[in-house]
Structure formats: structure tokens, C-alpha cells
Chain A
Amino acid sequence: MPDQLVVLENISRIYEGPNPVNALVNVSASIQQGDFVSIQGVSGSGKSTLLNVLGLLDRPTAGKYILNGLDAMHISERERTDLRCYYIGFVFQSFHLLATRSAVENVELPLYYRGINRKKRKESASKAIEKVNLLHRSASFPATLSGGERQRVAIARALVGSPKLLLCDEPTGSLDKNSSDNILELLEELNETGLTVIIVTHDSAVANRSKRHLYVVEGQLHE
């Protein structure tokens, strides 16, 4: 297993249009396996674009991106999907849970795309939901869960496929302080088990819980 899980070299992302926007400018960074990194920046600084690039949801205009030793830059859309499927877990500010699926069914969702049968999906989803201390609410639907519980379900969904990289986009942005603390504690615990966690946030209090701090200012990355 390579020590460097993520390597970015001179990554640029330009949004074309009548007035082109340089969202990322020559961003270079490397993130080790087991790091707990926060990426801070004001609105429009480019931090979300950086997260999208890291999560293979967006393709950089130029540069080099190595994920777990694999060239993630010159690959097809299908191959990027495969990498997302097996290597990356996502946690979003607005949870993105399916309203008509129970907590455990939401957690199961990534496993559909790994060809795992229903029984094993249930088992894995239950384990993941147990890991976030929400087993007692596994049959509940999102509408009946609190904000903190929903985010725990979302984290369980991100963990169920045992990813190497957990990308969190403002994971506490929609939560009260108590729930935020609980979520951050959970992320710290997960990081202590060896999971690489990257949090994008504009909240310094959240960023201070990480071991390493990166800042995006006008598309440029500073440490």
C-alpha cells in the first residue's frame, strides 16, 4: 500500500464561458494514508471544486492526480466511476438520503453497484450502521431522524464499502453544535482506525479538529 494516498500536481480547473473562471490554480498537495485533513476557505474560494476533483466528480483542466498509485487523470468516465465505487466515500452537508428508503436501505445503496447480494448487503449495512451507533434506528426513514442521525446514516453509507478516502463536504453545516461535536468525534474515531478523512469546511472550529490544515484562497492551496 503506498503511503501517499493522494498526489496532486499543478491541478487547474477552469470553468469555460464568456468570463472564464480559474477555480483552481496549480494546486499541488499530497495526502498520506490515515491523514485527517481539513480544507478551509471562504465561499467561492474553490474548496468545493477541489473536493469534487479529489472525489472524481469533476475533471481538472490540467495537472496530475494520482489516487492510491493510480493515474486518475487520464481515465475514462467509466473508470472514474469504478474508482469512486471502491475507493471513495462521500458525506454531504445536505445528507442526500433517499426519503423513501429506510436508514439501513440508504446505507445499502453503494453495495448495489458492487454486485453484492441482498443478504450480504443487509449484513454489511447493519455493521456500518452499528459503527455509527444507530442500529436502533436502522428501520427508520430519514424524515423521522434528527439532523445528526441523518448525517450518521450518511457516514455509515460512506463507510459501508470500506473506502480508502472519506470526503466530507461541510458535514456539520446543517447541524447544531451538539450534533456537530458528535459527528466530528465519529470522524476522529474513524480516522484513528486508519481511514483517510478530508473535510471541506468554512468553520474554523471544525477545521481545528483535524490534524492537518489546508487553505484555499482564490483557487490556490496553502498549508
Chain B
Amino acid sequence: MNRIKYKVSKGTEQRKSHLRIKDAIYDAFLGFARNPTRTFLAALGTIIGVGTLVSVSGIATTAKQQVTSQFNSILATEITVSDNSVGHIPFSAQERVMHIKGVAHAGISWQLMADVNVARDLSVSGPQQFSTTLPIYASTPDGLTQMQADIITGRLFDKGNERRFDRVALIGSIAARQLGITSVANRPAIFINGTPFTIIGIVTGLFGQPSALSSIIIPASTGLDLIGSPYAGSYLGHKINEKFITEKSNAVLQNSSAQEPTMYVTTAKGAAGVVGKEIAYAIYPQNVNALSVITPPGPDLLSNAIEGTTATLLILLGIVALVTGGVVIANTSLLSVLGRTSEIGLRRALGARRKHIAVLTLLEAGCIGAIGGMIGASLGVLATVGVAATHTWTPVLSYQIIVMAPFVGAIVGILAGIYPSIRATRIEPVSALQH
């Protein structure tokens, strides 16, 4: 028999099974809306995935903002000025720099001598005992602030000590242990190369110059008076030690400093960049390249650097979270398909094509993913706000991530639904209806 040309027709109208996308969406909606438990379990993966993504993003962004502001308020206000081969820091540099708008503090310090014989005097005029070698630092009173010197006992030297070239000294906490000094109440004396000094305080901290913990710190003017300029009679003696330069030149030559002076400048927040540019003009107007001025990275640079690190972390965590969510959706969708074999068989018997089954399965997975994305985004926002509130931070969250979350969830859902939908299309109605 010849094959009869296939055409199911009603009059001239071609009659084929077809499903409008609008109806498919409504059918899928009924599918997940009427099965809240199944929908929730299926969406759980996306909720966790998107929730993790949003909360990690939010917390990281919030923390980054916090770190940036902390950094700005501390490190981003510190400028370091040091010598280079062209010029030296004049002693007057501190006073000049203080005139620059935006400068809060400025101080100079340097290591005066390395490994000098220091002996402790146990009696008012008795023999010297407990002799040891220690480095000697010279610092202005502001330099002590810049070095972040914390007093354990006694007091720091001040501008009065500096003006009078007092033979007073601070001793680092490690050096104090070496010399057996625990208190300054009796004004203990030490001898630096035979010159007596009164210890007025024991200091610790010194985060700006940690090696000073095991040293003696004397006023800069006293250092100049006693030892001379670290540059053997050059600019450093501009004012105070001018009269001493000549007298002490021999000593200077014999006791050249172990380290060239460094000036630390603290600026107001956000002023470091501008101040850094002006410092060289203030100190060396004739040659702005004479000194090395190191300014902290600007807020933008810092922010970008932190953001770069955060972004990498986010991408990794986000991928892990979303893959986890996808696997859960795929697993739940597959279980759902297997559990709905009879329904799929029925639909096929009633006229659904394989592609209609695939569309239904994918739409359900996509919608569940989108719902999961919305819930996850909401939970992520709550988590971010919660963490920020706990630390009294200001929560910072990109709105793009929140807006994109349902779409990301839908995409993950659809991708995860591909395999289950393929499995669904392979279900034969005749066997499915026997369930």
C-alpha cells in the first residue's frame, strides 16, 4: 500500500500539537506554585549560592570601605622624607614643613652612632658598672611622636630639653633590661662614651623605628652638640648647632652617624598627596629633587588594590557558591523529573511533544532558580547589614549584584535543568503510564 501523505487537518487549517510560550510559562508557574515544598527544596541550592555571592560581595565591599577609611586615617597620612645622594635634610626642615597647610606633625630622627659604649652609674659618683654597647638615636620631640614612642615610666623629653641641650636620655625597653634599669624615680645616670646622661624615661612602642627599642634616644640638639652633624658639618647645623659645628668637627668626623636622618610627616586626612609635593619645595626650593619624599598610596590606588584582591576572592567564592547551587538544582530537578514520570507520560499521551516537555522542565528550573536568586539576594543583603551592624560599619553593597541576582539564579537554574529536561524528553508515554 502506498503511504498516505500525513496531514492532520481541519478544513484548510494545519493541526499540529503546539504550545504557546505564554501557556508554557503559566503551566510552569502552576507547577512550582502548587508544590511549595518541592519548589523550596529545589530553590535551596540557588538560595545558598546567590545568598553567599551577595553576602560575600556585600561584606567584602563593606570591609573594603572600612579598611580604606582606616588606612586613610592612619597610614595614608604618613610621609617619609629621607636623604638621597644629592642633598641632606637640614635641621630647619621640621620648622619649614610645619608651615605647609595640611601638616599635623613633623619630626626628625636618626641613628646617631652605632654600638657606643654605654655604662650605668650605680651611685651618684661611683664607679661605672654594667657596661655594654648600644646604638644611640637622636630625635626631636616631634620625632618621638612620629616614632610612636609610648612611655613605660618617666616622661619623654620636650622642646625645653632640646632648647637647653640637656644631657637627658630615653632608654628603649630592651636596652633598659640590658642595663638593669626598671625605674627612673631616682634619675639613674648612664655614660655615653664617658659623657653622663640622666635617664628620664623608659619607652616602648616605637613602631616607626623598632630598632630604637634596644637603644638610647637623646634630643636631636644634644646629639648635635655632643656628636655633631651626621653630615660632618653640612646643612643639619643650619641654626641650632651652627656654633657647635666648628668645635665638634673632629668628633663628627670620628663619630659619623650610622644612619642618615629621616623626617616623618603626618598630614591631615587626604592631604598627603598635596603635602608630599610641597615638601621638597619647602625644604629645597633650589633643587626639588634633592630629597626623597615617599607619600602613601592615594585612596584611589589603595581602593583599587583592595578591590582587585576582593574581586578575585569574590569571583572564586561566587563560582563555588553558584556551582553548588547549580548542582543542587540539577539534582532536585532530576529527582523531580523521575518522580513525575507518570505526569510526563500523561502529557505525552495528551499531545505534548518532546520539546514541550523540555520547555516545561527548563522553565520550571529557570523560575525556581530566579525565585532562589531573589530569596538569596534578600538573605545576602540581610547578612551584610547584620555583619555591618555588628561591627558598627556602614553597609556598602552594589545594587547591580542585587538586581542581577534573580537573573543569575534563573540562568543557573536553566543550565542545571538541561540534563533533567533531556531525561524527561526520553520518557516514553507507554511505559510512564504504567507507573
Q: Is the interface of A mostly helix, strand, loop or mixed?
A: mixed
List of B residues within 8 angstroms of A202 by Cβ: none
- Minimum CB distance partner of A95 in chain B: B346
Is B352 an interface position by the 8 A CB rule?
yes
- Minimum CB distance partner of B340 in chain A: A98
List of B residues within 8 angstroms of A70 by Cβ: 4, 6-8
Q: How far is the CB of B96 from chain A (nearest CB, A)?
A: 83
Please report the number of residue pairs spanning A and B whose Cβ atoms sit closer than 8 angstroms.
Answer: 99
Interface string of B420-435 (1 = CB under 8 A from A): 0000000001100100
Is B18 an interface position by the 8 A CB rule?
yes
Decide yes or no: A113 and B34 within 8 Å by CB, A79-B6, A90-B349 being known contacts: no
> Once the chains are docked, how many angstroms separate the CA of A82 from the CA of B349?
10
Interface string of A43-76 (1 = CB under 8 A from B): 0000000001001011000001010011100110
Interface string of A100-119 (1 = CB under 8 A from B): 11000100011011110110
Q: How far is the CB of A159 from chain B (nearest CB, A)?
A: 12
Q: How far is the CB of A110 from chain B (nearest CB, A)?
A: 4
Q: Among the listed A58, A71, A113, A157, which residue makes an inter-chain contact with B6, where contact means beta carbons less than 8 Å apart? A: A71
List of A residues within 8 angstroms of B8 by Cβ: 70, 79, 82-83, 86-87
In the complex, the answer to whether A100 meets B26 with C-beta atoms within 8 Å is no
In the complex, the answer to whether A96 meets B15 with C-beta atoms within 8 Å is no
In the complex, the answer to whether B15 meets A82 with C-beta atoms within 8 Å is yes
Is B390 an interface position by the 8 A CB rule?
no
Which residues of chain B (303-325) have a CB below 8 Å from chain A? none
Is A78 an interface position by the 8 A CB rule?
yes
Total contacting residues, chain A, CB less than 8 A: 38
Q: Among the listed B23, B346, B430, which residue makes an inter-chain contact with A96, where contact means beta carbons less than 8 Å apart? A: B346
In the complex, the answer to whether B27 meets A112 with C-beta atoms within 8 Å is yes
Q: Among the listed B4, B34, B429, which residue makes an inter-chain contact with A71, where contact means beta carbons less than 8 Å apart? A: B4
Is A27 an interface position by the 8 A CB rule?
no
> Once the chains are docked, how many angstroms separate the CA of A55 from the CA of B24?
25
Q: How far is the CB of A35 from chain B (nearest CB, A)?
A: 21
In the complex, the answer to whether A57 meets B349 with C-beta atoms within 8 Å is yes
Which residues of chain A (112-138) have a CB below 8 Å from chain B? 112-115, 117-118
9 CB < 8 A contacts A-B: A78-B17, A87-B8, A98-B346, A101-B30, A109-B346, A113-B18, A113-B347, A113-B356, A114-B18
**A residues neighboring B (CB under 8 Å):** 52, 55, 57-58, 64, 66, 69-71, 74-75, 77-79, 81-87, 90, 92, 96, 98, 100-101, 105, 109-110, 112-115, 117-118, 157, 161
